[in-house]
Structure 1
Amino acid sequence: MPRQIFQLKVSLTGVRPSIWRRVLVPGGYTLDRLHRVVQHAIGWRDCHLHSFEIDGVPYGEPDPHAEPAVRDELDTRLDAVAGKGSRFGYLYDFGDWWEHELVVEDVLAADPDERYPCCPEGARAGPPEGVGGPAGQMLLLAALADPAHPEQTTMRDWVGPWYDPSVFDPGRTTTLLRRFC
Protein backbone atom coordinates (compact mmCIF):
# COMPACT_ATOMS: atom_id res chain seq x y z
CA MET A 1 0.00 0.00 0.00
CA PRO A 2 1.46 3.42 -0.93
CA ARG A 3 2.29 5.83 1.84
CA GLN A 4 -0.56 8.21 2.68
CA ILE A 5 0.05 11.94 2.42
CA PHE A 6 -2.20 14.37 4.24
CA GLN A 7 -2.89 17.67 2.51
CA LEU A 8 -3.49 20.17 5.30
CA LYS A 9 -4.53 23.79 5.21
CA VAL A 10 -3.11 25.63 8.22
CA SER A 11 -4.74 29.00 8.90
CA LEU A 12 -4.10 31.55 11.62
CA THR A 13 -7.39 32.59 13.18
CA GLY A 14 -8.22 36.14 14.18
CA VAL A 15 -6.00 37.93 11.65
CA ARG A 16 -6.88 39.83 8.50
CA PRO A 17 -5.77 39.65 5.80
CA SER A 18 -5.61 35.88 6.06
CA ILE A 19 -2.33 34.05 6.75
CA TRP A 20 -2.42 30.40 5.66
CA ARG A 21 -0.30 27.53 4.35
CA ARG A 22 -1.04 24.35 2.43
CA VAL A 23 1.30 21.56 3.50
CA LEU A 24 1.66 17.93 2.48
CA VAL A 25 2.89 15.61 5.23
CA PRO A 26 3.07 11.86 5.69
CA GLY A 27 0.08 10.52 7.63
CA GLY A 28 2.51 8.57 9.80
CA TYR A 29 3.96 11.77 11.27
CA THR A 30 3.52 12.10 15.01
CA LEU A 31 1.84 15.25 16.28
CA ASP A 32 5.28 16.33 17.53
CA ARG A 33 6.54 16.33 13.94
CA LEU A 34 3.37 18.08 12.78
CA HIS A 35 4.10 20.74 15.42
CA ARG A 36 7.50 21.32 13.78
CA VAL A 37 5.83 21.52 10.35
CA VAL A 38 3.42 24.21 11.56
CA GLN A 39 6.28 26.11 13.22
CA HIS A 40 8.37 26.27 10.06
CA ALA A 41 5.42 26.75 7.72
CA ILE A 42 4.14 29.83 9.54
CA GLY A 43 7.59 31.13 10.43
CA TRP A 44 7.51 30.67 14.20
CA ARG A 45 10.75 30.00 16.11
CA ASP A 46 9.39 27.43 18.61
CA CYS A 47 10.06 29.70 21.60
CA HIS A 48 6.76 29.03 23.40
CA LEU A 49 4.44 26.29 24.56
CA HIS A 50 1.95 24.73 22.17
CA SER A 51 -0.87 22.20 22.12
CA PHE A 52 -3.24 20.50 19.71
CA GLU A 53 -6.92 19.91 20.33
CA ILE A 54 -8.48 17.12 18.31
CA ASP A 55 -12.08 16.06 18.97
CA GLY A 56 -11.94 17.78 22.36
CA VAL A 57 -8.76 15.96 23.42
CA PRO A 58 -5.62 18.01 24.19
CA TYR A 59 -2.27 16.76 22.86
CA GLY A 60 1.16 18.20 23.55
CA GLU A 61 4.20 17.77 25.73
CA PRO A 62 3.01 15.82 28.78
CA ASP A 63 2.99 17.59 32.13
CA PRO A 64 2.01 15.46 35.13
CA HIS A 65 0.60 18.57 36.83
CA ALA A 66 -1.53 19.78 33.90
CA GLU A 67 -5.29 19.81 34.17
CA PRO A 68 -6.80 18.48 32.05
CA ALA A 69 -4.22 15.83 31.32
CA VAL A 70 -2.51 16.25 27.96
CA ARG A 71 -1.91 13.23 25.75
CA ASP A 72 1.66 12.80 24.56
CA GLU A 73 2.11 14.16 21.03
CA LEU A 74 5.15 11.89 20.57
CA ASP A 75 2.90 8.83 20.88
CA THR A 76 0.15 10.04 18.54
CA ARG A 77 0.21 9.69 14.77
CA LEU A 78 -1.71 12.10 12.58
CA ASP A 79 -3.43 9.28 10.69
CA ALA A 80 -4.65 7.80 13.99
CA VAL A 81 -6.57 10.93 15.03
CA ALA A 82 -7.57 12.62 11.75
CA GLY A 83 -8.84 11.79 8.28
CA LYS A 84 -10.10 13.61 5.20
CA GLY A 85 -12.39 16.43 6.28
CA SER A 86 -11.09 16.57 9.87
CA ARG A 87 -10.68 19.97 11.50
CA PHE A 88 -8.62 20.55 14.60
CA GLY A 89 -6.82 23.25 16.50
CA TYR A 90 -3.21 24.09 17.23
CA LEU A 91 -2.40 26.74 19.83
CA TYR A 92 1.01 28.38 19.95
CA ASP A 93 2.31 30.79 22.59
CA PHE A 94 -0.04 30.72 25.55
CA GLY A 95 0.69 34.44 26.14
CA ASP A 96 0.09 35.82 22.63
CA TRP A 97 -2.48 33.04 22.03
CA TRP A 98 -2.00 32.21 18.36
CA GLU A 99 -4.83 29.89 17.33
CA HIS A 100 -4.42 27.90 14.12
CA GLU A 101 -7.10 25.89 12.38
CA LEU A 102 -5.89 22.77 10.57
CA VAL A 103 -8.14 21.16 7.97
CA VAL A 104 -7.35 17.84 6.31
CA GLU A 105 -8.31 18.79 2.76
CA ASP A 106 -7.35 15.45 1.25
CA VAL A 107 -5.53 12.18 1.84
CA LEU A 108 -3.45 11.16 -1.17
CA ALA A 109 -1.11 8.40 -2.21
CA ALA A 110 2.50 9.57 -2.01
CA ASP A 111 3.98 10.70 -5.30
CA PRO A 112 7.20 8.67 -5.75
CA ASP A 113 8.85 11.68 -7.39
CA GLU A 114 8.04 14.08 -4.53
CA ARG A 115 9.80 14.61 -1.20
CA TYR A 116 7.75 15.28 1.91
CA PRO A 117 6.93 17.40 3.78
CA CYS A 118 6.38 20.25 1.37
CA CYS A 119 4.49 23.52 1.21
CA PRO A 120 3.20 24.19 -2.31
CA GLU A 121 1.34 27.38 -1.45
CA GLY A 122 0.26 29.89 1.14
CA ALA A 123 -0.44 33.54 1.70
CA ARG A 124 1.31 36.35 3.54
CA ALA A 125 4.25 36.35 5.92
CA GLY A 126 3.74 34.93 9.38
CA PRO A 127 3.65 37.37 12.28
CA PRO A 128 6.88 38.10 14.11
CA GLU A 129 7.38 36.38 17.47
CA GLY A 130 6.32 38.53 20.40
CA VAL A 131 4.12 40.92 18.40
CA GLY A 132 1.29 40.49 20.90
CA GLY A 133 -1.11 38.07 19.26
CA PRO A 134 -3.71 38.96 16.64
CA ALA A 135 -4.32 42.43 18.12
CA GLY A 136 -0.59 43.19 18.08
CA GLN A 137 -0.32 41.97 14.49
CA MET A 138 -3.12 44.32 13.44
CA LEU A 139 -1.34 47.21 15.18
CA LEU A 140 1.93 46.31 13.43
CA LEU A 141 0.24 46.19 10.01
CA ALA A 142 -1.44 49.57 10.62
CA ALA A 143 1.86 51.16 11.68
CA LEU A 144 3.81 49.77 8.72
CA ALA A 145 1.16 50.88 6.21
CA ASP A 146 0.91 54.49 7.40
CA PRO A 147 3.98 56.75 7.13
CA ALA A 148 2.29 59.20 9.52
CA HIS A 149 1.64 56.53 12.18
CA PRO A 150 3.43 57.50 15.43
CA GLU A 151 4.78 53.94 15.85
CA GLN A 152 5.94 53.37 12.26
CA THR A 153 9.68 53.96 12.87
CA THR A 154 9.68 51.93 16.09
CA MET A 155 7.81 49.04 14.48
CA ARG A 156 9.95 49.06 11.32
CA ASP A 157 13.13 49.04 13.43
CA TRP A 158 11.73 46.18 15.52
CA VAL A 159 10.75 43.89 12.60
CA GLY A 160 13.67 44.91 10.39
CA PRO A 161 13.75 46.15 6.82
CA TRP A 162 13.34 42.63 5.36
CA TYR A 163 9.87 42.06 6.87
CA ASP A 164 7.14 42.42 4.25
CA PRO A 165 3.79 41.16 5.59
CA SER A 166 2.46 40.55 2.07
CA VAL A 167 5.22 38.14 0.98
CA PHE A 168 5.29 34.36 1.35
CA ASP A 169 7.82 32.08 -0.33
CA PRO A 170 6.64 28.44 -0.56
CA GLY A 171 10.00 27.29 -1.98
CA ARG A 172 11.93 28.61 1.02
CA THR A 173 9.34 27.12 3.37
CA THR A 174 9.59 23.71 1.69
CA THR A 175 13.38 23.84 2.10
CA LEU A 176 12.99 24.55 5.83
CA LEU A 177 10.41 21.79 6.24
CA ARG A 178 12.66 19.22 4.60
CA ARG A 179 15.68 20.30 6.60
CA PHE A 180 14.09 20.49 10.05
CA CYS A 181 10.99 18.26 10.03
Structure 2
Amino acid sequence: MARAKKSEDVPKAMQEKFARIVALTDKFAQQHLNAEYAEFIRFATAALCRKRPSPLLSGTEKTWACGITHAIGMVNFLFDASQDPHIRATDLYESFGVSASTGQAKSKLVRDTLKMHQMDPDWCLPSQLDDNPMAWMISVNGYIIDARSAPREFQEIAHAKGLIPYVPGDDRSKTAAPAIATIPKKKAAAPAPTSPKALLVLEAFILDGPITEAFAKKNPTISRTIEIKASNTLEDLHKILFKAFGREEEHLYEFQVGGRGPHDSNARRYGLKQAFSDPDDELAGDVSTTTLGELGLTEDESFGYWFDFGDDWWHQIDVLSITEDAPSGKYPKIAKRVGANPPQYADFD
Protein backbone atom coordinates (compact mmCIF):
# COMPACT_ATOMS: atom_id res chain seq x y z
CA MET A 1 0.00 0.00 0.00
CA ALA A 2 1.37 3.40 -0.99
CA ARG A 3 2.20 5.89 1.74
CA ALA A 4 -0.44 8.57 2.21
CA LYS A 5 0.50 12.10 1.16
CA LYS A 6 0.42 14.78 3.85
CA SER A 7 -1.32 18.11 3.55
CA GLU A 8 -2.37 21.07 5.69
CA ASP A 9 -5.40 21.70 3.49
CA VAL A 10 -8.63 21.94 5.49
CA PRO A 11 -12.25 22.75 4.57
CA LYS A 12 -13.16 26.42 4.89
CA ALA A 13 -15.58 25.67 7.72
CA MET A 14 -12.75 24.10 9.77
CA GLN A 15 -10.02 26.68 9.13
CA GLU A 16 -10.60 28.65 12.32
CA LYS A 17 -10.64 25.50 14.46
CA PHE A 18 -7.47 24.31 12.75
CA ALA A 19 -5.73 27.64 13.36
CA ARG A 20 -6.59 27.67 17.07
CA ILE A 21 -5.36 24.12 17.63
CA VAL A 22 -2.09 24.48 15.71
CA ALA A 23 -1.34 27.75 17.48
CA LEU A 24 -1.14 25.68 20.66
CA THR A 25 0.77 22.77 19.13
CA ASP A 26 3.25 25.00 17.29
CA LYS A 27 4.04 26.80 20.54
CA PHE A 28 4.51 23.50 22.37
CA ALA A 29 6.72 22.10 19.60
CA GLN A 30 8.87 25.24 19.61
CA GLN A 31 9.40 24.92 23.36
CA HIS A 32 9.82 21.14 23.68
CA LEU A 33 10.11 19.41 20.29
CA ASN A 34 11.31 20.46 16.82
CA ALA A 35 10.16 21.54 13.37
CA GLU A 36 9.48 17.98 12.20
CA TYR A 37 7.10 17.31 15.06
CA ALA A 38 5.35 20.64 14.57
CA GLU A 39 4.74 19.87 10.90
CA PHE A 40 3.43 16.34 11.45
CA ILE A 41 1.14 17.50 14.25
CA ARG A 42 -0.31 20.07 11.81
CA PHE A 43 -0.72 17.32 9.19
CA ALA A 44 -2.65 15.18 11.69
CA THR A 45 -4.81 18.12 12.75
CA ALA A 46 -5.63 18.86 9.11
CA ALA A 47 -6.47 15.20 8.46
CA LEU A 48 -8.93 15.29 11.38
CA CYS A 49 -10.43 18.53 10.01
CA ARG A 50 -11.10 16.78 6.69
CA LYS A 51 -13.06 13.94 8.31
CA ARG A 52 -16.84 14.04 7.70
CA PRO A 53 -17.98 14.83 10.30
CA SER A 54 -14.84 16.08 11.94
CA PRO A 55 -14.31 14.88 15.52
CA LEU A 56 -12.75 18.28 16.24
CA LEU A 57 -16.21 19.88 16.19
CA SER A 58 -16.70 18.85 19.81
CA GLY A 59 -14.19 19.37 22.59
CA THR A 60 -11.81 22.18 23.51
CA GLU A 61 -8.79 23.20 21.48
CA LYS A 62 -6.35 22.42 24.29
CA THR A 63 -7.60 18.84 24.73
CA TRP A 64 -7.33 18.19 20.99
CA ALA A 65 -3.90 19.85 20.86
CA CYS A 66 -2.78 17.59 23.68
CA GLY A 67 -4.31 14.44 22.18
CA ILE A 68 -2.90 15.01 18.69
CA THR A 69 0.57 15.80 20.02
CA HIS A 70 0.49 12.71 22.23
CA ALA A 71 -0.64 10.53 19.30
CA ILE A 72 2.20 11.69 17.04
CA GLY A 73 4.57 11.27 19.98
CA MET A 74 3.39 7.68 20.50
CA VAL A 75 4.18 6.82 16.87
CA ASN A 76 7.66 8.29 17.13
CA PHE A 77 8.78 7.17 20.62
CA LEU A 78 8.65 10.68 22.07
CA PHE A 79 8.22 9.25 25.58
CA ASP A 80 11.34 7.07 25.41
CA ALA A 81 13.94 8.71 27.65
CA SER A 82 16.79 7.61 25.35
CA GLN A 83 15.45 9.70 22.45
CA ASP A 84 15.94 13.34 21.57
CA PRO A 85 13.64 15.19 21.67
CA HIS A 86 11.99 13.50 24.63
CA ILE A 87 9.30 14.48 27.11
CA ARG A 88 7.40 12.52 29.71
CA ALA A 89 3.74 11.98 28.96
CA THR A 90 2.81 13.49 32.33
CA ASP A 91 4.74 16.66 31.46
CA LEU A 92 3.00 16.84 28.08
CA TYR A 93 -0.44 16.69 29.73
CA GLU A 94 0.60 19.32 32.27
CA SER A 95 1.92 21.65 29.57
CA PHE A 96 -1.47 21.69 27.85
CA GLY A 97 -3.36 21.88 31.15
CA VAL A 98 -5.12 18.58 30.52
CA SER A 99 -5.61 15.63 32.88
CA ALA A 100 -3.83 12.37 32.07
CA SER A 101 -7.11 10.51 31.54
CA THR A 102 -8.42 13.16 29.13
CA GLY A 103 -5.13 13.35 27.25
CA GLN A 104 -4.93 9.57 26.90
CA ALA A 105 -8.56 9.34 25.75
CA LYS A 106 -8.12 12.05 23.11
CA SER A 107 -4.87 10.48 21.92
CA LYS A 108 -6.59 7.11 21.49
CA LEU A 109 -9.43 8.75 19.58
CA VAL A 110 -6.90 10.43 17.25
CA ARG A 111 -5.00 7.19 16.69
CA ASP A 112 -8.18 5.21 16.08
CA THR A 113 -9.62 7.83 13.72
CA LEU A 114 -6.43 8.14 11.67
CA LYS A 115 -5.56 4.43 12.06
CA MET A 116 -2.21 5.29 13.64
CA HIS A 117 0.05 2.87 15.45
CA GLN A 118 3.59 3.03 16.77
CA MET A 119 6.21 2.96 13.99
CA ASP A 120 3.39 3.70 11.51
CA PRO A 121 5.19 4.56 8.25
CA ASP A 122 2.50 7.09 7.34
CA TRP A 123 3.11 9.10 10.52
CA CYS A 124 6.81 8.43 11.08
CA LEU A 125 9.00 11.53 11.10
CA PRO A 126 11.28 11.73 8.04
CA SER A 127 14.41 11.67 10.21
CA GLN A 128 13.31 8.34 11.70
CA LEU A 129 12.46 6.43 8.53
CA ASP A 130 15.93 4.86 8.30
CA ASP A 131 15.34 3.03 11.59
CA ASN A 132 11.68 2.15 11.05
CA PRO A 133 11.33 -1.40 9.66
CA MET A 134 7.62 -0.86 8.98
CA ALA A 135 8.49 1.72 6.32
CA TRP A 136 10.36 -0.91 4.30
CA MET A 137 8.01 -3.89 4.29
CA ILE A 138 6.92 -4.87 0.74
CA SER A 139 5.27 -7.92 -0.77
CA VAL A 140 7.29 -10.07 -3.18
CA ASN A 141 5.69 -13.22 -4.58
CA GLY A 142 3.13 -13.22 -1.80
CA TYR A 143 5.62 -12.84 1.07
CA ILE A 144 6.49 -9.77 3.14
CA ILE A 145 10.18 -8.80 2.97
CA ASP A 146 12.34 -5.86 4.03
CA ALA A 147 12.94 -3.79 0.89
CA ARG A 148 16.35 -2.72 2.18
CA SER A 149 17.60 -6.25 1.51
CA ALA A 150 16.00 -6.49 -1.96
CA PRO A 151 17.85 -5.94 -5.28
CA ARG A 152 18.00 -2.32 -6.37
CA GLU A 153 15.62 -2.87 -9.31
CA PHE A 154 12.96 -4.02 -6.84
CA GLN A 155 13.68 -1.00 -4.64
CA GLU A 156 13.27 1.38 -7.59
CA ILE A 157 9.95 -0.19 -8.56
CA ALA A 158 8.73 -0.08 -4.95
CA HIS A 159 9.71 3.58 -4.66
CA ALA A 160 8.02 4.47 -7.95
CA LYS A 161 4.81 2.90 -6.64
CA GLY A 162 5.08 4.81 -3.37
CA LEU A 163 5.65 1.64 -1.32
CA ILE A 164 8.92 2.79 0.28
CA PRO A 165 10.00 6.35 1.14
CA TYR A 166 13.16 6.42 -1.01
CA VAL A 167 15.70 4.13 -2.66
CA PRO A 168 18.34 3.22 -0.05
CA GLY A 169 21.66 4.83 -0.82
CA ASP A 170 20.23 7.63 -2.99
CA ASP A 171 20.76 11.30 -2.23
CA ARG A 172 17.87 12.41 -0.01
CA SER A 173 18.79 16.11 0.06
CA LYS A 174 15.88 17.05 -2.20
CA THR A 175 13.40 15.55 0.24
CA ALA A 176 15.25 16.24 3.44
CA ALA A 177 13.35 16.98 6.62
CA PRO A 178 12.91 20.61 7.65
CA ALA A 179 15.66 22.15 9.72
CA ILE A 180 15.45 21.05 13.33
CA ALA A 181 15.70 23.63 16.07
CA THR A 182 15.64 22.04 19.50
CA ILE A 183 16.17 23.48 22.94
CA PRO A 184 19.26 21.98 24.56
CA LYS A 185 18.32 19.30 27.05
CA LYS A 186 20.15 17.77 29.94
CA LYS A 187 21.09 14.14 29.56
CA ALA A 188 18.28 11.93 30.83
CA ALA A 189 18.88 10.40 34.23
CA ALA A 190 19.01 6.62 34.58
CA PRO A 191 15.48 5.24 34.87
CA ALA A 192 14.30 4.47 38.38
CA PRO A 193 13.33 0.89 39.13
CA THR A 194 9.65 0.01 39.40
CA SER A 195 8.25 -1.34 42.68
CA PRO A 196 8.11 -5.17 42.61
CA LYS A 197 4.45 -4.90 43.67
CA ALA A 198 3.49 -2.93 40.55
CA LEU A 199 1.39 -4.33 37.71
CA LEU A 200 2.37 -3.58 34.13
CA VAL A 201 -0.11 -3.82 31.27
CA LEU A 202 1.80 -4.44 28.03
CA GLU A 203 0.62 -4.63 24.43
CA ALA A 204 2.84 -6.73 22.13
CA PHE A 205 2.64 -6.30 18.34
CA ILE A 206 4.23 -8.43 15.63
CA LEU A 207 6.25 -6.03 13.47
CA ASP A 208 7.92 -8.47 11.11
CA GLY A 209 8.29 -12.18 10.47
CA PRO A 210 7.63 -14.90 7.87
CA ILE A 211 3.97 -13.96 7.42
CA THR A 212 2.34 -14.45 4.02
CA GLU A 213 0.60 -11.54 2.33
CA ALA A 214 -2.72 -13.41 2.45
CA PHE A 215 -2.45 -13.89 6.22
CA ALA A 216 -1.44 -10.25 6.70
CA LYS A 217 -4.49 -9.04 4.76
CA LYS A 218 -6.79 -11.08 6.99
CA ASN A 219 -4.93 -9.99 10.12
CA PRO A 220 -3.62 -6.44 9.56
CA THR A 221 -2.91 -6.12 13.29
CA ILE A 222 -1.61 -8.98 15.43
CA SER A 223 -1.29 -8.00 19.07
CA ARG A 224 -1.62 -9.43 22.55
CA THR A 225 -2.25 -7.56 25.80
CA ILE A 226 -0.34 -8.98 28.76
CA GLU A 227 -0.71 -8.25 32.47
CA ILE A 228 2.50 -8.95 34.37
CA LYS A 229 4.00 -7.97 37.71
CA ALA A 230 7.20 -5.97 38.02
CA SER A 231 8.63 -8.84 40.06
CA ASN A 232 8.29 -11.22 37.09
CA THR A 233 11.43 -11.84 35.03
CA LEU A 234 11.91 -11.25 31.32
CA GLU A 235 11.96 -15.02 30.99
CA ASP A 236 8.43 -15.04 32.46
CA LEU A 237 7.43 -12.43 29.89
CA HIS A 238 8.88 -14.55 27.09
CA LYS A 239 6.94 -17.59 28.27
CA ILE A 240 3.60 -15.77 28.32
CA LEU A 241 4.32 -14.23 24.89
CA PHE A 242 5.21 -17.69 23.59
CA LYS A 243 1.79 -18.90 24.77
CA ALA A 244 -0.06 -15.77 23.64
CA PHE A 245 1.16 -16.06 20.03
CA GLY A 246 0.64 -19.82 19.86
CA ARG A 247 4.29 -20.81 19.41
CA GLU A 248 5.13 -24.50 19.19
CA GLU A 249 8.93 -24.73 19.39
CA GLU A 250 11.38 -22.78 21.51
CA HIS A 251 14.18 -20.72 19.96
CA LEU A 252 16.70 -18.14 21.14
CA TYR A 253 15.30 -14.71 21.91
CA GLU A 254 16.23 -11.35 23.38
CA PHE A 255 14.60 -8.15 24.61
CA GLN A 256 15.86 -4.73 23.51
CA VAL A 257 15.18 -1.80 25.84
CA GLY A 258 15.88 1.90 25.36
CA GLY A 259 16.29 1.79 21.58
CA ARG A 260 14.16 2.71 18.62
CA GLY A 261 13.11 -0.28 16.59
CA PRO A 262 14.97 -3.49 15.68
CA HIS A 263 18.77 -3.47 15.30
CA ASP A 264 19.21 -0.24 17.29
CA SER A 265 22.77 -0.40 18.61
CA ASN A 266 21.83 1.97 21.44
CA ALA A 267 19.37 -0.48 22.97
CA ARG A 268 20.14 -2.47 26.11
CA ARG A 269 19.93 -6.16 25.20
CA TYR A 270 18.73 -8.92 27.52
CA GLY A 271 18.98 -12.59 26.58
CA LEU A 272 20.09 -16.03 27.72
CA LYS A 273 23.71 -15.42 28.66
CA GLN A 274 24.76 -19.01 28.19
CA ALA A 275 23.67 -18.74 24.55
CA PHE A 276 26.13 -15.91 23.82
CA SER A 277 29.74 -17.09 23.78
CA ASP A 278 31.19 -14.15 21.85
CA PRO A 279 32.80 -11.78 24.41
CA ASP A 280 32.08 -8.85 22.07
CA ASP A 281 28.37 -9.69 22.06
CA GLU A 282 27.68 -8.15 25.46
CA LEU A 283 24.26 -8.39 27.07
CA ALA A 284 22.94 -5.94 29.65
CA GLY A 285 21.45 -8.80 31.65
CA ASP A 286 20.19 -12.37 31.73
CA VAL A 287 16.47 -12.82 31.09
CA SER A 288 16.26 -15.48 33.81
CA THR A 289 17.32 -13.05 36.55
CA THR A 290 16.32 -9.59 35.23
CA THR A 291 12.88 -8.48 36.40
CA LEU A 292 10.53 -6.08 34.63
CA GLY A 293 10.89 -3.72 37.58
CA GLU A 294 14.65 -3.43 37.09
CA LEU A 295 14.18 -2.05 33.56
CA GLY A 296 12.80 1.24 34.87
CA LEU A 297 9.99 1.26 32.30
CA THR A 298 7.49 4.11 32.17
CA GLU A 299 4.01 4.46 30.74
CA ASP A 300 3.98 5.07 26.96
CA GLU A 301 7.48 3.60 26.60
CA SER A 302 8.14 0.81 24.09
CA PHE A 303 10.74 -1.94 23.86
CA GLY A 304 11.58 -4.76 21.48
CA TYR A 305 11.35 -8.56 21.56
CA TRP A 306 13.20 -10.68 18.99
CA PHE A 307 12.23 -14.36 18.81
CA ASP A 308 13.99 -17.02 16.67
CA PHE A 309 17.33 -15.76 15.34
CA GLY A 310 16.67 -17.44 11.99
CA ASP A 311 13.09 -16.71 11.01
CA ASP A 312 13.37 -13.38 12.88
CA TRP A 313 10.05 -12.61 14.52
CA TRP A 314 10.25 -8.95 15.59
CA HIS A 315 7.81 -7.59 18.16
CA GLN A 316 7.18 -4.19 19.68
CA ILE A 317 5.94 -4.07 23.27
CA ASP A 318 4.15 -0.93 24.46
CA VAL A 319 3.75 -0.11 28.15
CA LEU A 320 0.07 0.81 28.38
CA SER A 321 -0.08 1.38 32.12
CA ILE A 322 1.72 0.79 35.41
CA THR A 323 -0.36 0.35 38.56
CA GLU A 324 1.37 0.78 41.91
CA ASP A 325 -0.11 -2.31 43.53
CA ALA A 326 -1.16 -5.32 41.47
CA PRO A 327 -4.63 -6.67 42.30
CA SER A 328 -4.63 -10.17 43.71
CA GLY A 329 -4.51 -12.83 41.02
CA LYS A 330 -2.23 -15.08 39.03
CA TYR A 331 0.33 -13.31 36.83
CA PRO A 332 1.45 -13.05 34.11
CA LYS A 333 -1.71 -13.52 32.09
CA ILE A 334 -3.12 -12.81 28.64
CA ALA A 335 -5.78 -10.10 28.85
CA LYS A 336 -6.62 -9.61 25.15
CA ARG A 337 -5.91 -11.04 21.70
CA VAL A 338 -6.22 -9.17 18.38
CA GLY A 339 -5.68 -11.14 15.17
CA ALA A 340 -5.06 -14.84 14.68
CA ASN A 341 -1.86 -16.66 15.64
CA PRO A 342 0.41 -16.77 12.57
CA PRO A 343 2.02 -20.15 11.84
CA GLN A 344 5.43 -20.29 13.45
CA TYR A 345 7.01 -21.57 10.25
CA ALA A 346 6.10 -20.30 6.80
CA ASP A 347 5.39 -22.83 4.05
CA PHE A 348 7.63 -21.76 1.18
CA ASP A 349 6.84 -24.76 -1.05
CA shift for structure 1 position 61? 0.4
Q: Quote the sequence identity (%).
A: 26
CA shift for structure 1 position 47? 2.2
CA shift for structure 1 position 131? 1.4
Q: Which residue does 2:318 correspond to in 1?
A: 103
Question: Which structure's residues are more often strand, by fraction?
Answer: 1
* Deviation larger for 93-102 or 42-51: 42-51
CA RMSD of aligned residues (A): 2.2
Question: Which structure's residues are more often helix, by fraction?
Answer: 2
For the 8 Å contact 1:5–1:25, the answer to whether it is kept is yes
Q: Which residue does 1:160 correspond to in 2?
A: none
Matched, 1:69 2:263: no
Q: Paired residues, what number?
A: 133
Aligned partner (choices 232, 235, 253) of residue 50 of structure 1: 253
For the 8 Å contact 1:31–1:74, the answer to whether it is kept is yes
Max Rg structure: 2
Deviations 1:48-71 (A, max 9, x none): 111111110111001232642123
Q: Distance in 2 between matches of 1:2 and 1:78?
A: 8
Secondary structure of the 1:28 match is coil
For the 8 Å contact 1:22–1:120, the answer to whether it is kept is yes
Higher RCO (CA < 8 A, seq sep 6+): 1
CA shift for structure 1 position 2? 8.7
Any unmatched runs of 5+ in structure 2? 1-194, 259-266
For the 8 Å contact 1:2–1:110, the answer to whether it is kept is no
Secondary structure of the 1:120 match is strand
For the 8 Å contact 1:39–1:46, the answer to whether it is kept is no
For the 8 Å contact 1:28–1:79, the answer to whether it is kept is yes
Q: Distance in 2 between matches of 1:64 and 1:75?
A: 18
For the 8 Å contact 2:237–2:332, the answer to whether it is kept is no
For the 8 Å contact 1:9–1:21, the answer to whether it is kept is yes
For the 8 Å contact 2:205–2:223, the answer to whether it is kept is yes
Q: Distance in 2 between matches of 1:76 and 1:98?
A: 22
CA shift for structure 1 position 46? 4.2
Q: Which residue does 2:309 correspond to in 1?
A: 94
Q: Distance in 2 between matches of 1:72 and 1:116?
A: 21
For the 8 Å contact 1:52–1:90, the answer to whether it is kept is yes
**Structure 1 ranges of 4+ moved more than 4 A:** none
Q: Distance in 1 between matches of 2:196 and 2:293?
A: 14
